[in-house]
Chains A and B, each alone.
Chain A
Amino acid sequence: MKKKIIQAITRPLNILGGLVKKLIKPVLAPAQRGKVRRSAIIVVLIVLTASAFSYPKYFNQGIDWVNKRHNWNIPQIASKDFYLGLDLQGGTHLVYEADVTNIASEDRDNAVEGVRDVIEQRVNFFGVTEPLVQTNKSGGKYKIIVELAGVKDVNEAINMIGQTPILEFKEEAKPVELTEEQKAESKKHNESQKKKGEEVLQKLKRGGDFKQFVASYSEDETSKNNGGDLGLVGSNSPFPIFYDKAKVSEKGIVPELITDSEGLNIISIGDKIPVAGNATEVKARHLLICWKDAVRCEKENTKEEAKAKIDELKKQATPENFEQLAKDNSTEPGADSSGGDLGWFQKGQMVPEFEQAVFGMAKGTVSDVVETAFGYHLILKEDEKPLYEYPIARILLKTQPETTIAPTEQWQTTGLSGKQLERAQVVFDPNTNQPQISVTFDEEGKDLFAKLTESNVNKQIAIFLDKRIISAPKVNEPIKTGTAVISGSFDIAEAKELAQRLNSGALPVPVKLLSQQTIGATLGQDSLSKSFKAGLVGFILVMIFMVLFYRLPGLVAVISLLSYVVLMMVIFKYSPLHLTLTLFGIAGFIFSMGIAVDANVLIFERLKEELKSGKPLTSAIEEGFNRAWLSIRDGNTSTLITCFIMFMFGTSTIKGFAITLSIGILVSLFSAIMITRVLLKLITPWFGKYKWLFLDKQ
């Protein structure tokens, strides 16, 4: 078993090595300089592309410049950030234990999955970029691990996550009929309000500041604190009752209680203000003669006949006899009693032709014949006056409805909850093979559900989990057996999810916080900048050391190390594995820089030996690489094995470190064997004469 693991690790390495050799061997035979150049170009291209992606800012500036000059349209590289772990951006790592003692063992897995799902939903409320919610079963215990990176209010998150999910069945809310007792009570309340209102009116009559009365009596929460002010009340305001009152009342306090939908009001009217544009309202009456095809006409006469009739009436009409003429002749229903009276109206209330005529004519005159869709009209304009808006303040004394209460919410509680739900599971419709969710209630739930379905046939029943609606199936028929299926166009995954959610409320799984690890954002930022500095210092130290000790090859190794850093950055930013950068991951990365040069050191030491033994440069390099490879492979394999074990057993901190270190080792092998080797091969002939560049002494 262990051997297999070792083989699993070493085999790819062997293959990698073999592949690298195969790729390199033909191109590195001394006679084939052209091929060396070609692979050098490939390596340089890989590294340049990687650098462009790892830090696209300057590259994109370059693209902009080129695009501008040549009017090209080369796309930019989208800049991408590292995924920062919670120790770098601040956040919290929470471990919960799910208490499954009350749940049958075969249901436990599902129940815990359901809880996980609920927690995930709750967590999504916190606007955390990538919340992690995992379950973990070890030794018969269920744990739920929650990681919230960048969460601001850890305390609230903990409070919310820790609640046991609540499942409720609700029906559409109906107006509630009051009981006799309640009716009596509201009546009593309303009477006492009325009495109070009258008292306040009496007091106001004796004088005093209206605002003070507002402050002490008004029950209108919105206007109470600004002296009862409702603003300017015009014809379109939400207070039509007050507007109508204001039009016919004097300025000041209206000496009566005004009833509206909210209750009893005492209003105070301020100085009226003309409406913008000096709009007016008009009082008029009209006489209508319609014909067969006109709107709402019940007569059989033709349009021509109507025209003749109206022309004749026009000749007779005066302001004095107009009412009587209308009563006798108008075809408008009810005109015989109303005399065509239209009352007061303003612009926008009548059809355009009619409006144009009536607002254009002088007061106290009869109009010419006006044609509208309804027929021919004669109009008597009786009066016209400007429109006003009124500043109104009020004291509200709320009254209660005396018979029914309108529902305030869409859904109302039914008493049926997760407690009475025995289980939910996915079943398949035997006819259509569609997945459905079957729900089973206990004895108590059976009765409740029967009643609920009876009174809600063809209506919806909403299922709430954690106060959020998760489904609202329609009731097809009364269900008295205590078992029902929820059907719909679910796919299996959706059906399973819904069943799990139902179960999570049905099988209450309390969770207990076992541990929390919270890191403040400041500490995270601090760690990030410090790690960056440490990495830079470490890199410079290694660079100086390598150049001093190994000279030209050392310089090549530095270039290779730089490429290594760039490649690592690209892998971390763009890898589909969503590698997360953690503090210990960065430490692992910096450490891997130290190890990355190891392969170079091994190769260069071999190179020196081969040179000392008198071999020419090019073949010495080849030999050096070949001989060093075995050591490099075996040596790194042992580190990879321990990384693998860390990954298997570790907590997230250790995992982050292990992943970075192992990726670092693999990439460093590539950079040592591909980049160092190819570059060294390329430049050796240029400096072949100067052996001091390679060796300190002959």
Chain B
Amino acid sequence: MKLAIIQKRKNFFILSGFFVIVSLLSLIAWGLKMGVDFTGGSLMELQFAQRPTVEAIQTSFKEFNLGEITVQPSDENNYLIRFKDIDEETHQKIVTKLKNDFKSTTTDTAESTENTPEQPAIEVIDDSGNKLNNISFSATTSDGTKVEGKNDVKKADVTELRFDSIGPSIGQELRQKSFYAFTYAIIAIILFVAWAFRFVSKPVQSWKYGVVAVVALVHDILITIGVFVFLGHYYGIEINTPFIAAILTVFGYSVNDTIIVFDRVRENLRRYHEDFEKTVNDSVNETFVRSINTSATALFVLLAVYFFGGETVKNFVLALIVGIAVGTYSSIFIASPLLVTWHKLTERLSKNG
């Protein structure tokens, strides 16, 4: 059984062309939703015993004049809150205010509710401490006498899980770094593929393998980015530093996949001197199962991380999943067919010329 992949290449070109164009257009129209890593700003993740309404959070933040505040539910009881970058002092004020505003009203010991009516609970910002069942805390009344009470609340009502505050200059620097990283990665990969195929010159020159591998790569990256443009536009998913890592990994993986198919082409060209198109189609067929299986195992583990690995790595892993799936597709259905198309084009041109 042999699949006529090369012969039906036009269909794949049209399909991929459509997705690439849609991705490009949406990228231009909507752009990626950049996280605080890139734009500068603050991101606070809070865990509540009982999640209050978004409006309640907004009200709590009002007095700090932070401009626009976006509150987004996450996990079961968490909120992700984004606002402009602030200094540590303001941060502490916000934390104290939040702990105060969303303090529990149910305590087990009756006397402690009597003794501490609406006293601000001064707690050390110690996230692990909040897991303890018996946090003994002291509150200070207005006349300075200490009121001691046992707080038997099972769980602290607000826990600050994470706080990032990133100045605009850092974001700027990160954007610049990412740009350089992409540029260098693309150059390095073209050079590497050209080098790896340096002994193959007939009927297609080695550098063309490099260029085609990179075209396939750009295809993979654009579609992956396109997916995140959509996710950002419709679901508010932001890209951050790990997204860059994911994209760079897709760089490596996609080229890896393409190279393995090209490698087989290279080998078969040396062994049989048949028609280029047929050789390429044979090679793609021979490596088909391997390509599918390899990305299958990679996708299995990635899906496991996506579903069980927790919120923090979710989007990072999603980018990898999309990139690897598209990368596998392109190494089979785009890269090798492009090689043939290019070959035919040059043949026709040289005949005509």
Interface stretch, picked from A216-224, A452-460, A480-488, A633-641, is A633-641
Bitwise, B297-312 to A at CB < 8 A (1) or not (0) is: 1111111110111101
Highest count of chain B CB atoms <10 Å: which of A138, A153, A537? A537
Contacts of A538 in B (CB 8 A): 300-305
In the complex, how many angstroms separate the beta carbon of A234 from the nearest chain B beta carbon?
A: 36
B18 within 8 A of A: no
Q: Are B300 and A634 in contact (CB under 8 A)?
A: no
A527 within 8 A of B: yes
Q: Are B125 and A516 in contact (CB under 8 A)?
A: no
Q: Which residue of A lies closest to B240 (CB)?
A: A653
A153: which of B126, B185, B242, B303 is its contact (CB, 8 Å)? B126
Contacts of B255 in A (CB 8 A): 638-639
Q: Are A640 and B162 in contact (CB under 8 A)?
A: no
B259: which of A514, A593, A635 is its contact (CB, 8 Å)? A635
In the complex, how many angstroms separate the beta carbon of A640 from the nearest chain B beta carbon?
A: 7
A257 within 8 A of B: no
A549 within 8 A of B: yes
Contacts of A534 in B (CB 8 A): 304-305, 307-310
B188: which of A549, A602, A641 is its contact (CB, 8 Å)? A641
A645 to B192, CA, bound (A): 14
A505 within 8 A of B: no
A643 to B289, CA, bound (A): 27
A513 to B244, CA, bound (A): 24
In the complex, how many angstroms separate the beta carbon of B336 from the nearest chain A beta carbon?
A: 14
Q: Are A634 and B188 in contact (CB under 8 A)?
A: no
Interface stretch, picked from B53-61, B64-72, B166-174, B342-350, is B166-174
Q: Are B310 and A531 in contact (CB under 8 A)?
A: yes
Interface residues of B in 227-257 (CB under 8 A from A): 241-242, 244-245, 248-249, 251-253, 255-257
Q: Which residue of B lies closest to A544 (CB)?
A: B300
Instruction: From known contacts A523-B127, A635-B256, infer whether A642 and B251 are also in contact, taking CB-CB under 8 Å.
Output: yes
Instruction: From known contacts A635-B259, A646-B245, infer whether A523 and B45 are also in contact, taking CB-CB under 8 Å.
Output: yes
B191 within 8 A of A: yes
A95 to B166, CA, bound (A): 9
Q: Which residue of A lies closest to B320 (CB)?
A: A591
In the complex, how many angstroms separate the beta carbon of B286 from the nearest chain A beta carbon?
A: 7
Bitwise, A182-212 to B at CB < 8 A (1) or not (0) is: 0000000000000000000000000000000
Q: Are B245 and A634 in contact (CB under 8 A)?
A: no
In the complex, how many angstroms separate the beta carbon of B140 from the nearest chain A beta carbon?
A: 18
Q: Are A583 and B312 in contact (CB under 8 A)?
A: yes
B248: which of A531, A535, A646 is its contact (CB, 8 Å)? A646
Contacts of B126 in A (CB 8 A): 152-153
A115 to B173, CA, bound (A): 23
Instruction: From known contacts A158-B88, A159-B88, A546-B297, infer whether A601 and B160 are also in contact, taking CB-CB under 8 Å.
Output: no
Q: Are B245 and A653 in contact (CB under 8 A)?
A: yes
A401 within 8 A of B: no
Q: Which residue of B lies closest to A3 (CB)?
A: B191
Q: Which residue of B lies closest to A640 (CB)?
A: B252
Q: Are A523 and B245 in contact (CB under 8 A)?
A: no
In the complex, how many angstroms separate the beta carbon of A151 from the nearest chain B beta carbon?
A: 10
A538 to B301, CA, bound (A): 4
* Chain A to chain B: the 9 pairs with minimum beta-carbon distance, closest first: A538-B301, A520-B127, A642-B252, A538-B304, A639-B252, A594-B298, A530-B310, A534-B309, A594-B301
B300: which of A6, A542, A609, A638 is its contact (CB, 8 Å)? A542
A636: which of B92, B256, B287 is its contact (CB, 8 Å)? B256
Contacts of B303 in A (CB 8 A): 538, 541
Q: Which residue of B lies closest to A520 (CB)?
A: B127
Q: Are A631 and B264 in contact (CB under 8 A)?
A: yes
Instruction: From known contacts A6-B188, A640-B252, infer whether A516 and B165 are also in contact, taking CB-CB under 8 Å.
Output: yes
What number of A-B contacts does a CB cutoff of 8 Å give?
256
A611 within 8 A of B: no
Contacts of A549 in B (CB 8 A): 293
B-side residues, CB < 8 A to A, are 45, 47, 85, 87-88, 91-92, 124-128, 130-131, 159-167, 169-170, 173-174, 177-178, 180-181, 184-185, 187-189, 191-193, 195-196, 241-242, 244-245, 248-249, 251-253, 255-257, 259-260, 263-264, 267, 286-287, 289-290, 293-294, 296-305, 307-310, 312-313, 316-317, 320
Instruction: From known contacts A90-B128, A601-B290, A651-B241, infer whether A594 and B263 are also in contact, taking CB-CB under 8 Å.
Output: no
A-side residues, CB < 8 A to B, are 2-3, 5-6, 10, 87, 90, 95, 97, 138, 152-155, 158-159, 513-523, 526-527, 530-531, 533-535, 537-539, 541-542, 545-546, 549, 583-584, 587, 590-591, 593-595, 597-598, 601-602, 605, 609, 627, 630-631, 634-643, 645-646, 648-651, 653-654, 657-658, 661
Contacts of A593 in B (CB 8 A): 301
A594: which of B160, B167, B185, B299 is its contact (CB, 8 Å)? B299
A152 to B103, CA, bound (A): 22
Instruction: From known contacts A517-B164, A587-B309, A591-B302, infer whether A638 and B181 are also in contact, taking CB-CB under 8 Å.
Output: no
What are 28 of the A-B contact pairs (CB < 8 Å)? Answer: A3-B191, A10-B195, A87-B312, A153-B124, A155-B91, A155-B92, A158-B88, A515-B170, A516-B165, A517-B165, A520-B127, A520-B162, A521-B128, A535-B304, A591-B298, A594-B297, A594-B301, A594-B302, A609-B286, A634-B259, A635-B257, A639-B255, A642-B189, A642-B248, A645-B188, A646-B181, A648-B184, A661-B249
Q: Are B256 and A639 in contact (CB under 8 A)?
A: yes
Instruction: From known contacts A549-B293, A587-B313, infer whether A634 and B263 are also in contact, taking CB-CB under 8 Å.
Output: yes
In the complex, how many angstroms separate the beta carbon of B83 from the nearest chain A beta carbon?
A: 14
